[in-house]
Amino acid sequence: MLSDVLLIAGKDLRVELRSRIALNQVVPFALLVLVLFGVALDADSSTLATFTPGLYWVAVVLAALLAVHRSVSLEDGDGADEGLLMSGLHPASVFLGKAVALIAELLLLALVLLGGVLILYGAPVDDVTLLLLTTVAAVIGVGAAGTLYGALLSGQRARETILPILLLPVLAPVVIGASRAFGDAMGSVATDGWSWLLSLTGFAMLYLAVGSVAHGALMEEA
């Protein structure tokens, strides 16, 4: 089971290492979103510092849409999806494998963006542990939900346009929770960030579980 998961994750990450799509296109896109926020908000540093948590997570979620799209399109061409089906791997392993690869990419993205907001927006950091744990938990949630909804739309030409309307409402609770936790970690919101971290962890676990179960029904049909 674990080796199957790593096999699929390794496959996706190797493709990424060779194509560098996430690194060369998704990360710059996310940084551009941050810059646009800065320009749009009149580069007022106190405003930017106050709203850093929200702006940061909106940027991450928007960039995640592109990463999910990329992750699904790996299985699109040349009968790759039939290949996965024929491989005899358990659908849950395939799901978890793809999720792990996506989460790894998103984690890299999130860390680069975190550096971006700390430098560009000058956001203060009170609690580094909370900041990093929140990032990990939220990214796992985004990656798991993204992989599931991406798989739902595999092979669909209209995926670019449907994925956002399907996934963004689902990720709304992650944006709420992660922004609050970041707000606490950055000292801009008076809230208990650790309890938000707990609920983000719950979201991530739930979607990993639901995705593993649902992926069987999705692969069966192909």
Binding region for another protein (CB under 8 A): 152-153, 155-158, 162, 165-166, 168-170, 172-173, 176-177, 180, 195-196, 199, 203, 206, 210, 214, 217-218, 220-222
Output 34-37 pairs: Cβ under 8 A, ≥24 positions apart.
Answer: 34/59, 34/113, 34/116, 34/117, 34/120, 34/121, 35/120
Cβ proximity to another protein: between 87 and 195 the closer is: 195
Q: How far apart are CA 148 and CA 164, in angstroms?
A: 13
Q: Which of 93, 97, 72 is nearest to 11 (CA)?
A: 97
Cβ proximity to another protein: between 6 and 62 the closer is: 62
Structure-token pair, residue 140: 């796992």
Cβ proximity to another protein: between 102 and 153 the closer is: 153
Cβ proximity to another protein: between 128 and 165 the closer is: 165
Q: Considering the complex, what minimum distance in angstroms separates the CB of residue 222 from another protein?
A: 8
Cβ proximity to another protein: between 17 and 222 the closer is: 222
User: Do the Cβ atoms of 19 and 107 come closer than 8 Å?
Assistant: no
User: Do the Cβ atoms of 133 and 185 come closer than 8 Å?
Assistant: no
Q: How far apart are CA 141 and CA 138, in angstroms?
A: 5
Q: Considering the complex, what minimum distance in angstroms separates the CB of residue 55 from another protein?
A: 16
Q: Considering the complex, what minimum distance in angstroms separates the CB of residue 217 from another protein?
A: 6
